[in-house]
Amino acid sequence: MMFYQFDDDQIKLSNKSILITGGTGSFGQAFVRKVINTYDVSRCIVFSRDELKQYEMAQEFPVVAGGPIRFFIGDVRDAARLELAMRGVDYVIHAAALKHVQTAEYNPFEAAKTNINGAENVVTAAIRSGVKKVIALSTDKACNPINLYGATKLAADKIFIAGNNLSGAGGCSFSVVRYGNVIGSRGSVVPLFQKLIKEKATELPITDFRMTRFWITLDQGINFVLSCLKIMQGGEIFIPKIPSMKITDLAHSMAPGLLHREIGIRAGEKLHELMISEDDARATVEFSDRYAILTPFLNLNMADYENFGVKAVSKEFKYASDSNDHWLSQESFKSLVEM
Protein backbone atom coordinates (compact mmCIF):
# COMPACT_ATOMS: atom_id res chain seq x y z
CA MET A 1 0.00 0.00 0.00
CA MET A 2 1.00 3.61 -0.43
CA PHE A 3 2.31 5.14 2.79
CA TYR A 4 1.63 8.84 2.44
CA GLN A 5 4.38 11.34 3.12
CA PHE A 6 2.36 14.55 2.58
CA ASP A 7 5.48 16.42 1.50
CA ASP A 8 4.62 17.36 -2.08
CA ASP A 9 2.81 20.59 -1.39
CA GLN A 10 4.07 22.22 1.80
CA ILE A 11 3.77 25.89 2.63
CA LYS A 12 6.83 28.05 2.04
CA LEU A 13 8.07 29.59 5.27
CA SER A 14 10.99 31.70 4.05
CA ASN A 15 11.15 34.99 5.95
CA LYS A 16 8.09 34.02 7.96
CA SER A 17 7.71 33.94 11.73
CA ILE A 18 6.17 30.79 13.22
CA LEU A 19 5.26 29.93 16.82
CA ILE A 20 4.52 26.46 18.20
CA THR A 21 2.79 25.97 21.53
CA GLY A 22 3.92 22.86 23.36
CA GLY A 23 7.13 23.24 21.39
CA THR A 24 9.20 21.04 23.71
CA GLY A 25 7.00 17.95 23.24
CA SER A 26 7.70 15.07 20.85
CA PHE A 27 5.92 16.76 17.96
CA GLY A 28 7.20 20.22 18.82
CA GLN A 29 10.87 19.29 18.88
CA ALA A 30 10.64 17.37 15.60
CA PHE A 31 8.63 20.21 14.02
CA VAL A 32 11.22 22.80 15.05
CA ARG A 33 14.00 20.60 13.71
CA LYS A 34 12.20 20.33 10.35
CA VAL A 35 11.51 24.06 10.12
CA ILE A 36 15.00 25.17 11.13
CA ASN A 37 16.76 22.69 8.83
CA THR A 38 14.48 23.16 5.82
CA TYR A 39 13.30 26.76 5.71
CA ASP A 40 14.88 30.17 6.02
CA VAL A 41 12.42 31.40 8.65
CA SER A 42 12.84 34.77 10.28
CA ARG A 43 11.78 33.41 13.68
CA CYS A 44 10.79 30.04 15.12
CA ILE A 45 9.35 30.52 18.60
CA VAL A 46 9.13 27.62 21.03
CA PHE A 47 6.36 28.37 23.52
CA SER A 48 6.13 26.00 26.48
CA ARG A 49 6.06 25.97 30.27
CA ASP A 50 8.90 23.46 30.79
CA GLU A 51 12.13 25.29 31.58
CA LEU A 52 14.22 22.11 31.71
CA LYS A 53 13.04 20.87 28.32
CA GLN A 54 13.71 24.30 26.83
CA TYR A 55 17.22 24.24 28.30
CA GLU A 56 17.86 20.77 26.89
CA MET A 57 16.39 21.75 23.52
CA ALA A 58 18.65 24.81 23.39
CA GLN A 59 21.67 22.50 23.33
CA GLU A 60 20.60 21.42 19.85
CA PHE A 61 19.15 24.79 18.82
CA PRO A 62 21.28 27.44 20.53
CA VAL A 63 20.00 31.00 20.60
CA VAL A 64 22.47 33.17 18.66
CA ALA A 65 22.37 36.80 17.63
CA GLY A 66 20.49 37.09 14.36
CA GLY A 67 19.39 33.44 14.50
CA PRO A 68 15.76 32.38 14.13
CA ILE A 69 15.22 30.29 17.27
CA ARG A 70 13.47 31.78 20.30
CA PHE A 71 12.44 30.14 23.56
CA PHE A 72 9.45 31.62 25.34
CA ILE A 73 8.39 30.34 28.78
CA GLY A 74 4.62 30.46 29.03
CA ASP A 75 1.41 28.50 29.54
CA VAL A 76 -1.54 28.46 27.14
CA ARG A 77 -3.70 29.07 30.20
CA ASP A 78 -2.19 32.59 30.30
CA ALA A 79 -3.87 34.65 27.57
CA ALA A 80 -1.73 37.76 28.13
CA ARG A 81 1.50 35.77 27.85
CA LEU A 82 0.30 34.16 24.62
CA GLU A 83 -0.57 37.53 23.13
CA LEU A 84 2.88 38.84 24.05
CA ALA A 85 4.56 35.84 22.41
CA MET A 86 2.54 36.17 19.18
CA ARG A 87 3.56 39.72 18.34
CA GLY A 88 4.72 39.78 14.71
CA VAL A 89 4.00 36.06 14.20
CA ASP A 90 2.64 34.87 10.84
CA TYR A 91 1.67 31.27 11.67
CA VAL A 92 0.87 29.39 14.87
CA ILE A 93 0.90 25.62 15.38
CA HIS A 94 -1.01 24.73 18.54
CA ALA A 95 0.38 21.47 19.92
CA ALA A 96 0.12 22.14 23.67
CA ALA A 97 -2.32 19.86 25.49
CA LEU A 98 -2.78 17.44 28.34
CA LYS A 99 -2.85 14.32 26.16
CA HIS A 100 -3.03 11.23 28.35
CA VAL A 101 -6.44 9.64 28.76
CA GLN A 102 -5.95 8.48 32.35
CA THR A 103 -4.40 11.78 33.45
CA ALA A 104 -7.40 13.68 32.12
CA GLU A 105 -9.85 11.28 33.79
CA TYR A 106 -8.30 11.85 37.21
CA ASN A 107 -7.57 15.57 36.71
CA PRO A 108 -10.63 16.84 34.80
CA PHE A 109 -10.36 20.48 35.86
CA GLU A 110 -6.72 20.65 34.81
CA ALA A 111 -7.47 19.03 31.44
CA ALA A 112 -10.27 21.53 30.81
CA LYS A 113 -8.07 24.50 31.75
CA THR A 114 -5.32 23.49 29.33
CA ASN A 115 -7.25 21.92 26.46
CA ILE A 116 -10.40 24.08 26.41
CA ASN A 117 -9.47 27.37 28.07
CA GLY A 118 -6.07 27.18 26.42
CA ALA A 119 -7.73 26.83 23.00
CA GLU A 120 -9.82 29.93 23.66
CA ASN A 121 -6.70 31.84 24.69
CA VAL A 122 -4.82 30.83 21.53
CA VAL A 123 -7.75 31.97 19.34
CA THR A 124 -8.07 35.32 21.15
CA ALA A 125 -4.33 36.01 21.17
CA ALA A 126 -3.96 35.12 17.48
CA ILE A 127 -6.78 37.49 16.48
CA ARG A 128 -5.48 40.34 18.62
CA SER A 129 -1.89 39.84 17.42
CA GLY A 130 -2.70 39.78 13.69
CA VAL A 131 -1.60 36.17 13.10
CA LYS A 132 -2.45 34.99 9.58
CA LYS A 133 -3.07 31.26 10.10
CA VAL A 134 -3.43 28.84 13.01
CA ILE A 135 -3.38 25.05 12.81
CA ALA A 136 -4.49 23.19 15.94
CA LEU A 137 -3.47 19.57 16.51
CA SER A 138 -6.33 17.30 17.50
CA THR A 139 -6.79 13.56 17.96
CA ASP A 140 -8.93 10.68 16.77
CA LYS A 141 -10.29 10.57 20.31
CA ALA A 142 -12.16 13.83 19.61
CA CYS A 143 -14.55 12.01 17.27
CA ASN A 144 -17.52 10.64 19.25
CA PRO A 145 -15.49 10.89 22.48
CA ILE A 146 -16.00 8.51 25.38
CA ASN A 147 -13.27 9.91 27.63
CA LEU A 148 -12.62 13.37 29.04
CA TYR A 149 -9.48 13.90 26.99
CA GLY A 150 -11.43 13.32 23.77
CA ALA A 151 -14.25 15.54 25.00
CA THR A 152 -11.90 18.43 25.77
CA LYS A 153 -10.26 18.08 22.36
CA LEU A 154 -13.65 18.04 20.64
CA ALA A 155 -14.49 21.26 22.49
CA ALA A 156 -11.13 22.71 21.42
CA ASP A 157 -11.81 21.74 17.79
CA LYS A 158 -15.14 23.58 17.93
CA ILE A 159 -13.47 26.64 19.45
CA PHE A 160 -10.86 26.82 16.69
CA ILE A 161 -13.41 26.39 13.91
CA ALA A 162 -15.63 29.10 15.47
CA GLY A 163 -12.58 31.34 15.64
CA ASN A 164 -13.01 32.00 11.92
CA ASN A 165 -16.27 33.83 12.65
CA LEU A 166 -14.66 35.83 15.43
CA SER A 167 -11.73 36.97 13.29
CA GLY A 168 -13.96 38.20 10.46
CA ALA A 169 -13.23 38.65 6.75
CA GLY A 170 -9.54 39.02 6.06
CA GLY A 171 -8.63 38.09 9.62
CA CYS A 172 -6.84 35.09 11.05
CA SER A 173 -7.80 31.69 9.60
CA PHE A 174 -8.16 28.69 11.91
CA SER A 175 -8.13 25.00 10.96
CA VAL A 176 -7.66 21.69 12.75
CA VAL A 177 -5.57 18.60 11.98
CA ARG A 178 -6.87 15.31 13.41
CA TYR A 179 -4.81 12.12 13.25
CA GLY A 180 -4.13 8.87 15.08
CA ASN A 181 -1.36 7.40 17.20
CA VAL A 182 2.15 8.66 16.47
CA ILE A 183 4.69 5.85 16.23
CA GLY A 184 7.23 6.21 19.01
CA SER A 185 5.76 9.29 20.70
CA ARG A 186 6.15 9.56 24.46
CA GLY A 187 3.42 7.70 26.34
CA SER A 188 2.41 5.48 23.40
CA VAL A 189 2.44 1.69 23.39
CA VAL A 190 5.57 1.40 21.21
CA PRO A 191 8.05 2.79 23.81
CA LEU A 192 6.33 0.66 26.47
CA PHE A 193 6.80 -2.51 24.43
CA GLN A 194 10.38 -1.52 23.62
CA LYS A 195 11.10 -1.10 27.32
CA LEU A 196 9.57 -4.47 28.22
CA ILE A 197 11.45 -6.22 25.40
CA LYS A 198 14.74 -4.65 26.52
CA GLU A 199 14.05 -5.83 30.08
CA LYS A 200 13.60 -9.43 28.79
CA ALA A 201 9.90 -9.60 29.61
CA THR A 202 8.30 -13.00 29.01
CA GLU A 203 5.03 -11.52 27.72
CA LEU A 204 3.53 -8.28 26.44
CA PRO A 205 0.32 -6.84 27.96
CA ILE A 206 -2.51 -6.27 25.46
CA THR A 207 -5.65 -4.52 26.66
CA ASP A 208 -7.88 -6.37 24.16
CA PHE A 209 -6.82 -8.78 21.43
CA ARG A 210 -9.38 -7.25 19.03
CA MET A 211 -8.09 -3.67 19.38
CA THR A 212 -7.06 -1.66 16.28
CA ARG A 213 -5.50 1.78 15.94
CA PHE A 214 -4.58 4.31 13.25
CA TRP A 215 -0.82 4.92 12.94
CA ILE A 216 1.27 7.77 11.57
CA THR A 217 4.98 8.55 11.82
CA LEU A 218 6.23 11.75 13.37
CA ASP A 219 7.66 12.92 10.04
CA GLN A 220 4.36 12.25 8.30
CA GLY A 221 2.50 14.20 10.97
CA ILE A 222 4.79 17.20 10.54
CA ASN A 223 4.57 17.13 6.74
CA PHE A 224 0.80 16.78 6.94
CA VAL A 225 0.53 19.86 9.15
CA LEU A 226 2.72 21.88 6.80
CA SER A 227 0.70 20.84 3.74
CA CYS A 228 -2.59 21.65 5.51
CA LEU A 229 -1.17 25.05 6.48
CA LYS A 230 -0.79 25.76 2.77
CA ILE A 231 -4.18 24.62 1.45
CA MET A 232 -6.42 25.63 4.36
CA GLN A 233 -9.19 28.15 3.77
CA GLY A 234 -10.11 28.29 7.44
CA GLY A 235 -12.71 26.11 9.14
CA GLU A 236 -11.61 22.65 8.00
CA ILE A 237 -10.81 19.61 10.10
CA PHE A 238 -8.18 17.77 8.05
CA ILE A 239 -7.74 14.00 8.47
CA PRO A 240 -4.90 12.11 6.73
CA LYS A 241 -5.38 8.81 4.95
CA ILE A 242 -3.21 6.60 7.13
CA PRO A 243 -3.10 2.85 7.81
CA SER A 244 -4.56 0.83 10.67
CA MET A 245 -3.01 -2.04 12.54
CA LYS A 246 -4.15 -4.56 15.13
CA ILE A 247 -2.31 -4.15 18.42
CA THR A 248 -1.55 -7.89 18.43
CA ASP A 249 0.11 -7.57 14.99
CA LEU A 250 2.10 -4.60 16.27
CA ALA A 251 3.30 -6.67 19.22
CA HIS A 252 4.22 -9.60 16.97
CA SER A 253 6.22 -7.30 14.69
CA MET A 254 8.23 -5.93 17.61
CA ALA A 255 8.75 -9.24 19.40
CA PRO A 256 8.00 -12.30 17.24
CA GLY A 257 7.11 -15.32 19.33
CA LEU A 258 6.71 -13.42 22.62
CA LEU A 259 3.52 -14.33 24.48
CA HIS A 260 0.65 -11.85 24.84
CA ARG A 261 -1.45 -11.37 27.96
CA GLU A 262 -4.89 -9.76 27.68
CA ILE A 263 -5.30 -7.36 30.61
CA GLY A 264 -8.67 -5.81 29.79
CA ILE A 265 -9.64 -2.51 28.23
CA ARG A 266 -9.09 0.52 30.45
CA ALA A 267 -11.65 3.13 31.42
CA GLY A 268 -12.10 5.63 28.60
CA GLU A 269 -10.50 3.41 25.93
CA LYS A 270 -12.18 2.47 22.67
CA LEU A 271 -11.83 -0.89 21.00
CA HIS A 272 -11.42 0.87 17.63
CA GLU A 273 -10.74 4.53 16.93
CA LEU A 274 -12.94 6.73 14.78
CA MET A 275 -11.79 9.85 12.91
CA ILE A 276 -14.87 10.63 10.80
CA SER A 277 -18.32 9.56 11.97
CA GLU A 278 -21.34 8.94 9.74
CA ASP A 279 -22.82 12.20 11.02
CA ASP A 280 -19.65 14.03 9.88
CA ALA A 281 -19.85 12.39 6.44
CA ARG A 282 -22.46 14.86 5.22
CA ALA A 283 -19.88 17.64 5.46
CA THR A 284 -16.79 15.62 4.43
CA VAL A 285 -14.85 15.84 1.17
CA GLU A 286 -12.12 13.51 -0.04
CA PHE A 287 -8.73 14.50 -1.43
CA SER A 288 -6.25 12.02 -2.88
CA ASP A 289 -4.34 11.77 0.41
CA ARG A 290 -6.70 13.16 3.06
CA TYR A 291 -10.23 14.04 4.07
CA ALA A 292 -11.59 17.37 5.23
CA ILE A 293 -14.70 18.01 7.30
CA LEU A 294 -16.03 21.36 6.09
CA THR A 295 -17.94 23.39 8.64
CA PRO A 296 -21.41 24.17 7.22
CA PHE A 297 -21.88 27.48 9.05
CA LEU A 298 -18.75 28.89 7.40
CA ASN A 299 -20.20 28.23 3.92
CA LEU A 300 -17.24 26.12 2.85
CA ASN A 301 -17.95 23.82 -0.09
CA MET A 302 -16.16 21.71 -2.68
CA ALA A 303 -15.85 24.65 -5.06
CA ASP A 304 -13.27 26.14 -2.69
CA TYR A 305 -10.99 23.17 -3.43
CA GLU A 306 -11.64 22.63 -7.13
CA ASN A 307 -7.90 22.67 -7.87
CA PHE A 308 -7.44 19.56 -5.73
CA GLY A 309 -9.99 17.31 -7.44
CA VAL A 310 -12.01 16.73 -4.30
CA LYS A 311 -15.18 14.67 -4.16
CA ALA A 312 -17.92 14.15 -1.60
CA VAL A 313 -17.90 10.92 0.41
CA SER A 314 -20.98 8.71 0.61
CA LYS A 315 -23.65 9.50 3.20
CA GLU A 316 -22.89 6.22 4.98
CA PHE A 317 -19.16 6.85 5.08
CA LYS A 318 -17.17 6.58 8.28
CA TYR A 319 -13.44 6.45 8.83
CA ALA A 320 -12.66 3.92 11.56
CA SER A 321 -9.53 1.93 12.38
CA ASP A 322 -11.28 -1.44 12.08
CA SER A 323 -12.94 -0.77 8.70
CA ASN A 324 -10.06 1.15 7.13
CA ASP A 325 -9.05 0.24 3.55
CA HIS A 326 -5.35 0.58 4.39
CA TRP A 327 -3.54 -1.76 6.77
CA LEU A 328 0.03 -1.69 7.96
CA SER A 329 1.87 -4.99 7.66
CA GLN A 330 4.12 -6.30 10.41
CA GLU A 331 7.14 -5.90 8.14
CA SER A 332 6.29 -2.28 7.29
CA PHE A 333 5.68 -1.40 10.91
CA LYS A 334 8.97 -2.94 12.00
CA SER A 335 10.87 -0.93 9.39
CA LEU A 336 9.22 2.29 10.58
CA VAL A 337 10.07 1.64 14.23
CA GLU A 338 13.69 0.95 13.32
CA MET A 339 14.05 4.17 11.29
Catalytic residue, from 16, 34, 99, 141: name it.
141
The answer to whether 268 touches 148, Cβ cutoff 8 Å, is yes
12 is catalytic: no
CA distance 79 to 274: 32
SS3 176: strand
The answer to whether 53 touches 24, Cβ cutoff 8 Å, is yes
Range 37-40 contact pairs with CB under 8 angstroms and sequence separation of 24 or more: 39/12, 39/13, 39/14, 40/13, 40/14, 40/15
Partnered with residue 177 across adjacent β-strands are 137, 238
CA distance 13 to 43: 10
**Measured torsion, CA atoms of residues 208, 209, 211, 213, in degrees rounded to the nearest 10:** 120
Side by side, the strands of the sheet bearing 236-240 are 69-73, 43-48, 17-21, 91-94, 133-137, 173-177, 236-240, 290-294, 284-286, 311-312
CA distance 75 to 77: 5
Give catalytic residue positions.
141
